Each structure stands twice: as structure tokens, then as C-alpha cells.
Amino acid sequence: MKKLLAVLSIALLVVGAVTIFSMAEDTAIPQPSASDAPAQTASPSVAGAGSVYYLNFKPEQSQQWQALAKTYTEQTGVPVTVVTAASGTYEDTLRSEMEKADAPTLFQVNGPVGLKTWRDYCLDLRDTALYRNLKSDDFALLEDGQVLGVAYVIETYGLIYNRTLLDRYMALDGAVIQSADQINNFETLKAVAEDIQARREELGVLGAFTSAGMDASSDWRFKTHLANLPVYYEYKADGITSTEAIKGTYLENYKQIWDLYINNATCEPAVIGAKTGEDAASEFALGEAVFYQNGTWAYADCIAEGLTDDDLGMLPIYIGVDGEEQQGLCTGSENFWCINKNAKPENIEATKAFLEWVITSDEGRDALANQMGFVTPFTTFDAGYTAHNALLDAASEDLAVGHTPVSWTFPTMPSEAWKNGVGAALLEYAQGTKEWSAVETAFVDGWASEYAAAKK
Amino acid sequence: MERDLAKYWPVFVLPTVTAFAIGFLVPFAMGLYLSFCDFTTLSNATFVGLGNYVRAFEDSGGFTHALWYTALFAGVSTVLINLFGLTVALLLVRGFRGTNLFRTVFFMPNLIGGIVLGWLWQVILNYGVLARYGVTLVTSEWYGFWGLMAVMLWQQAGYMMIIYISGLQSIPGDVSEAAAIDGASAWQALRYVKLPMLMPSITICTFLTLTNGFKLFDQNLALTGGMPSNRSQLLALNIYDTFYGRAGWEGAGQAKAVVFCLIVVTIALVQLRLTRTREVQQ
């Protein structure tokens, strides 16, 4: 009897499991018909029939997006859900959200490399208002004649400096420079930084640069943004825009600037592994350091911590390349909007309508330009919707004086794993547990092997 | 009664079986299937055969390093946590004043979640201790190793202590008394009387600490995040990083998870068998 019972219960268990599993399998069948079919289904655009679900990447602007969505719903009755992924978890969140019945209708990828993962989900945006109002194809992700992503914010980064502290330094006897403009190459930057570091007590700071936080959540400032410069110069020298085999021509310059950062900072190079991006931000805001490598998106945090517009300025990052006196700030985008083509047709239409409203209506343009502080690549913003703040203005001034902006090459970096490899090597070099050659290996060999791996 | 049971057992079994199937069997079966697939999200999987298992063991993935590092960690932590837990338990069954307070204090760390715990200790160890010597938890994998060990010891010893205390209290008084009358020293009483009687507790405690050591994730993530260069990465974190951190490697991550599961099950079964044979009937 007992045996029978046991056998029966196991049988039930297996049958039950198989049934549920096969049910799950049925729904888990990929939908080639949906993804291979021409994206343009002629479904009438009925306002109110669909809904929008935006998975937002930027936690800094979460509140503004929520408010904007609410305004849109009040005006049109179309429900708009905005969910913001926690910092550094966008890919994970997107992955699990895409699995749901109500998957995001609007999401973002970070460029060509990110697009590889999500290509099967991206709608061709050619016939949308979003693309029609785009200033140039430079801001779109094009593939096989399809517009798969459209950038919505152009950002700029460089060496943010505390103007008040730098002025105080320049007032000291024997200061290396008399005006911030004089810093226009690596040598001057180095001289200034080292002088500030040597006279830090006199100046009342802890170091010239903020701590280079290499905690995994903030090392992107160096493994991605700083690494952009040697990659940019190599592309420029070779006349290319991407490559499968980087040579590392400018790695010596990368070393120079990294050495300068870590040896003239608020902490010893050996302990940067325990420092975070938040540490750097607060050191800068508290006036403990003069220079802080970051970008226009850091503005809100600086102001929130008590700095004012008058305190903020931004310099190009000089790494010691010939002719860098004409080099500008690093300007580009890695935020591309994509519409999920596997969403319901009425939701796709609703999403297109929502985006059109965002870039053409007064409320939408005001929110993006004035509240979120986005410089956008859309023609509709030209008339009176230009974002302004100390850092954005520094960026436009830099253009106005005729400097050549450094483009963002990191959308062409082979993978997240490559960046992680470079970041880990930078940290170990700073700690003294590895030689600089480890960075070279991670940079050059890692590039090739990651490109090879991505092809598999 | 017997006949009713024969008739209605499916009714009684069904809720549990359903829950077990949804929460365990189905995900497990899907996971097993996915380890042979190429996929981005779970619903667009295509079958690719054994390729994922080959990639799982590629050098660049760090799986083999994580494997021995985890094995070492699990081994050392099992020994230390049980030694410490048993020592504290032996002290706290002596009946001096404040025993309950101490038991509570030692047990408390279990009530804190792994991420919070890992982060707290990261701050304590990095800023409170290591900063004096100009190093951090991520200077090399061994700082991370011992940091993690300290955290786990602090967290888990109290839990094991409770199990050992209940084990010690269930040893019949006459056995200890007989040992005392026969002139056994404290050491002899422990070695030949208490420990054999404690074997059921030891079985469960070693099982818990060994599997916990292998499965450890939260504390590892919060304390070192696998730095430097992924060398302080335990298996679970390695799998997570492969799955989420590398586009196109989801299948390889899944394959690693299957291998990981087999290893943990095997080790747990062997350990249970070994310690079971040493248990004595009371």
C-alpha cells in the first residue's frame, strides 16, 4: 500500500511538473512571426486605446519623468507607467521586465554594443516624429537601413573644477597659472595639480583631485570615460571610427593621466578600491578637492550638496597628445530610446504618440530642457528650449571658442567585460599589486578577445 | 482511516506538490533546458547543445578559480564556525548568570540580512581597521577571504550555537553523571561522552555551514563585489556576473549554475553520509 502510494505520488508529481513545464514551454516559444514581420503594421492610432510603459535608465531624473507621465495622462487619458531601474542595474531589470506580459514599450540601449543584445526587440523608428525631428543621423542607431534607436540626450564630461578654490590657489604666491584658461595641455595641468597637492594645507584642501573611486559601481569614470581619450586619439590617428583590434598607441598617455589622478588625490592610491563615486562627489562638493572628473549629469548633485553655479567650471581632460591645446570636452550620447516591437500594436502606437508629445509639446520640452537639464538632439527644442546651467554653459562655451569636441567612442568598446577588465587592472596598478603592463594587456588583448567572443 | 487516506490522499498532497512544482521543479527543469540554449530573455531561447558547458569552463570566465576559492572558503568556514559555535555553546550551558542574554547576543547577527551585513562590515573593516595599514579588502583576494570569513563567523556561529545548546541539553544527565563517577576528566567527558551524543547536531550544523559556504552570495557581493579582478568571487557571484554581466553569456551562466548545483548536492550527500554513520543511538 505504502509503496503504491509512493509510486503514485511520484507519478503525479512528474505528470504535474511536465504539464506545467510544457505549458510554460508553449508560452516560451519564440515568436519569429512577430519579429520577422515588417514592423509597420497599419494599426490605426487610437489615443486612449493603448498604454505606455517606460523603463527609465536615469535615476537622477526619475521624479521629473513621473511628473511628466502624470501630466500626459491627465491631458490624454493614456496611462503612462515610468519605472526607473536602480543605478547600475538597468540591464538586469530590463531582462526581467521584458519577460512579463506587460513588458516595457519604451526602453533604452547604450549604443551599438548594447543594441546587439536587444536588436530583436527594436522597432524601426524611421516613420516616427522622434526620428523626423532628429538633427542628424549621428544621433541614431542605424542598421540595415532601419532606425533602431534614437538618442535623446547629449552629454558632456571633462574635469569639473571648483572655481572658488582654483581662484584661491591662483591668488597664492608663485601659483603656476593666473587664469583657468591657461590650463590647455597636460603639462600645465600636471604642474597645477602637483603644486596644489604640495600646498594643500595652505589651500585648505585634502588633494588636487577627488579620490578615484574604483568601487565596482563607480569605476566607469575611469574604465570607460577616461579610457575614451586614448581610444579617441587612436581612432583619429588611424582615421577610423571603430576597430576589432585596438593597438593601444596612446596607452602611455592613459598612464600619465591616471598617475596624475591617483598620486595627487585626497587619499592614497592603495585605498581607492574602497572609495565610491559618492565619496568623490561629496569630497568635491565639500571643497576638499579642486578637480573632479565627471559630466553634466553631475550638476544636480553638486548643487544639492551646496555648491553654486559660480563655483563650477569644466576643463577638457588633457592626456599629453600633440596639439591638444585645441582639444575640447568629451561630448556624445549613450542613451538611445528604443520602442519594443513585440509590444501590442496599440501600445506601440501609444508610445509613439507619447514620445511625439514629449519632444513637441510645451510641457514635454520644458520638462526635458529645464527640469531634467537635457541637451537634446531634436530640432523642436531649438526655439527657446535650451537647457542652461553652469556645466552645460561651460560645454557650449568650449565649443564657442573653437575647441574640437572629443566624441564618445565607448559605444564601440567591445563589451562590459572589456571595461571591467581594464577597470580591474587600473585598480591593481594603483594598489601596487600589478604592473602597468596588466592594463596594457587588458586594454589591447582584452579588446581583441572580447570582439572575438561577441562574434560567437 | 487507512481507506480514507487511500481515497483522498491527492487532496492532501496537491497543495504542497503544486507549490513545490511551481517554486522548484518547473524552474529547475527550465533552468536545465536553458543551460543548453542561447537566449537573452527566457522566452526567446534557441537550442545549442553542449556549447554553453564548454564556454562555462573557459579561462576568461574565472569559473575554475571561483570553484577552488569557494571550496577553500567553504572548508575553512565549516571548521571555524562549528568550532566557535560549539565552544560558545559549551560555555553557555554551564548555567552562570546572564546566559540568556549572551545567547541572544550571539544569535542576533542572524537577524540581519546579508547585503546589509556585508556592507556594514565592509565599512568597519575598510575604514576602521585596514585603513590604518594602507590596504583595503580588495587589495588581494586574501583580504577579501578573511574579511568574508570574519563576517560569516560572526553571523553563523550564533545559529550553530543554538543547535549545539539544544543538543547538549538533550544529553541525559545520568550519562554525564556516570562519566563523572568513573573519574573521566573534562576532556574525556567531552571527547567520549558529549561529542558522540552530539553527532546529530554536528551532522546538521556541518551540513548547514558547508552548504551555506558554497551558496554564499549576498555577503560576497556587498563586501568585495569580487574585486580585485574577480579573484574574490565565490561561485554564486561568478554565476550571477556571467548571467547578467556579459551579453551573450546567459547560457554559459546557466550551465555554470547546473554544474554548481550538482557539486553542492554531491558534497552535501557525501557529508550527510559521513557524519550519519558516526551518530549513536541514545
Q: What is the pLDDT of residues A45-54, one digit of tens each?
A: 444 578 999 9
Averaged over A169-194, what is the pLDDT? 88
- All residue ranges of chain B with pLDDT < 70 are 1, 59, 280-282
Q: Which of B55, B139, B142, B238 to mutate to test the interface with A (most CBs of A within 10 A)?
A: B139
Q: Sign of the C-alpha dihedral, residues A273, A279, A281, A285?
A: negative
B35 and B68 assigned to the same domain: no
Please check whether residues B45 and B63 belong to one and the same domain.
Answer: no
Contact A5 B9 (CB under 8 A): yes
Residue A26 binned pLDDT confidence (cut-offs 50, 70, 90): very low
pLDDT of residue A102: 87
Q: Which residues in chain A are closer than 8 Å to B22, comparing Cβ atoms?
A: 20
Q: In the structure grid, which three cell numbers stand for residue A235, read together?
A: 581612432
In order, the DSSP letters of chain B are: -HHHHHHHHHHHHHHHHHHHIIIIIHHHHHHHHHTTEE-SSGGG-EE-TTHHHHHHT-GGGTHHHHHHHHHHHHHHHHHHHHHHHHHHHHHHTS--TTHHHHHHHHHGGGGS-HHHHHHHHHHIIIIIIGGGGT--TTSSHHHHHHHHHHHHHHHHHHHHHHHHHHHHHTS-HHHHHHHHHTT--HHHIIIIIIHHHHHHHHHHHHHHHHHHHHH--HHHHHHTTT-STTTT--HHHHHHHHHHHSTT-HHHHHHHHHHHHHHHHHHHHHHHHHHHTT----
What is the per-residue DSSP string for A212-246? ---STTTTHIIIIIITHHHHHHHHHHHT-S--SS-
Average pLDDT over every residue of A276-284: 87
Verify that B44 and B70 share a domain, yes or no.
no
pLDDT at residue number A309? 86
Are A271 and B131 an interchain contact pair (Cβ–Cβ within 8 Å)?
A: yes
DSSP state of A102: S
User: Is A263 exposed, middle or buried (CB count within 10 Å of its CB: 0-12, 13-18, 19+)?
Assistant: middle
Domain of B98: which CATH number? 1.10.3720.10
- Distance between A178 CA and the closest CA of chain B, angstroms: 36
Domain ranges of chain A: 43-154+333-382, 157-331+400-455
Closest CA to A405 of A301, A298, A296: A296
Cis preceding linkage at B228, omega within 30: yes
Say whether pLDDT at A24 is over 50.
no
A118-143 pLDDT, tens digit each? 888 999 998 898 898 888 887 888 88
- What is the model's pLDDT at position B282? 53
d(CA B260, CA B61): 14
Cell readout for B38 is 542561447
Q: What amino acid occupies position A334?
A: E
Rounded Cα distance between B21 and A311, Å, is 61
pTM across the whole model: 0.79
User: What's chain A's length in residues?
Assistant: 456
For residues B23 and B86, membership in a common domain is answered with no
Q: What is the dihedral of CA A48, A52, A58, A62, to 10 degrees?
A: 50
> Can you tell me the ipTM of this complex?
0.78
Q: Which fold has domain A43-154+333-382?
A: D-Maltodextrin-Binding Protein; domain 2 (3.40.190)
Q: Hunting for cell 528604443 — which residue is that?
A: A338
Cell of B13: 498532497
pLDDT in tens, A428-449: 999 888 899 999 999 999 999 8
A424/B229 CB distance under 8 A: yes
Q: What are phi and psi of A312, to 5 degrees?
A: -105, 135
Substitution target from A2, A10, A12 for chain B, most B beta carbons within 10 A = A12
Given the C-alpha cell 550538482, which residue does it identify? B262
Same domain, yes or no: B208 and B225: yes
Q: How confident is the model at residue A29 (pLDDT cuts 50, 70, 90)?
A: very low
Enumerate the residues of chain B whose CB falls inside 8 A of the CB of residue A120.
40, 44
Instruction: Give the helix/strand (H/E) hosting A338.
Output: strand A336-339
Chain B positions touching A427 (Cβ under 8 A) are 138, 227-229
pLDDT of residue B243: 84
Is residue B254 located within the same domain as residue B187?
yes
Residues A131, A138 contacting (CB under 8 angstroms): no
In this prediction, residue A27 has a pLDDT band, given cuts at 50, 70 and 90, of very low
Query: A380-418, pLDDT tens digit by residue?
Result: 888 788 888 888 888 888 888 888 888 888 878 888 888
- Chains A and B: how many Cβ contacts under 8 Å? 127
State the pLDDT confidence band at A261, using cuts at 50, 70 and 90: very high
pLDDT higher than threshold 70 for residue A1: no
Residues B88 and B167 in one domain: yes
Domains A43-154+333-382 and A157-331+400-455 alike in fold: yes
Cβ of A271 within 8 Å of Cβ of B229? The answer is no
Residues B44 and B107 in one domain: no
Q: Tell me A304's DSSP state.
A: H
**What is the band of A40 on the pLDDT scale with cuts at 50, 70, 90?**
very low
Report pLDDT digits (tens) over A210-243: 988 888 767 888 998 999 999 999 998 998 888 8
Containing A157, the helix (H) or strand (E) segment is strand A155-162
Rg of chain A in Å (alpha carbons): 25
B281 is a domain residue: no
From chain A, pick out residues whose CB is under 8 angstroms from the CB of B137: 273-274
Top mean pLDDT of A38-42, A62-66, A382-386 is at: A62-66
List Cα–Cα distances, B74 to A328, B212, B277, in angstroms: 52, 8, 22
pLDDT single digits (tens) B158-215: 999 999 999 988 888 888 888 888 888 888 888 888 888 888 899 889 889 998 898 8
A-contacting residues in B 222-241 (Cβ below 8 Å): 225-230
A31 confidence band (pLDDT: 50, 70, 90): very low
A160 SS3 class: strand
A413: exposed, middle or buried (C-beta count within 10 Å: 0-12, 13-18, 19+)? buried
> Among residues of chain A, what percentage have pLDDT more than 70?
89
| CB-based contact, B245 to chain A, within 8 Å | yes
Band of pLDDT at residue A55, cut at 50, 70 and 90 = very high
More confident residue, A116 or A56: A56
Quote the number of domains for chain B: 2
**Mean confidence (pLDDT) of chain A:** 83
Q: Look up the CATH number of domain A157-331+400-455.
A: 3.40.190.10
Contact across the interface for B138 and A456, Cβ inside 8 Å: no
Whole-number Cα distances in Å, A130 to A46, A382, B156 = 18, 15, 56
Rounded to 5°, the CA angle B118-B85-B80 comes to: 65
pLDDT digits (tens, 9 = 90+) for A288-342: 999 999 988 888 888 888 888 888 999 999 999 988 888 989 988 888 999 998 8
B168 CA: distance to closest CA in chain A (Å): 36
pLDDT tens sequence across A353-388: 999 999 999 889 988 888 888 888 888 888 788 888
Q: Tell whether B8 lies on the interface with A, counting CB pairs under 8 A.
A: no
Q: Hey, is the C-beta of B271 within 8 angstroms of any chain A C-beta? A: no
Q: How far apart are CA B241 and CA B249, in angstroms?
A: 10
Separation between Cα atoms, residue A364 and residue A354, nearest integer Å: 10
Q: Are residues B27 and B88 in the same domain?
A: no
Shared domain for B11 and B147, answered yes or no, is no
Residue A16 in this model has a pLDDT that exceeds 70: no
Does B44 share its domain with B184?
no
- Structure confidence at residue A179 (pLDDT): 87
Domain holding B251, by residue range, is 59-276
Query: Could you tell me if residue B235 is inside a domain?
Result: yes
Residues B46 and B90 in one domain: no
Please give the pLDDT value at position A160: 92
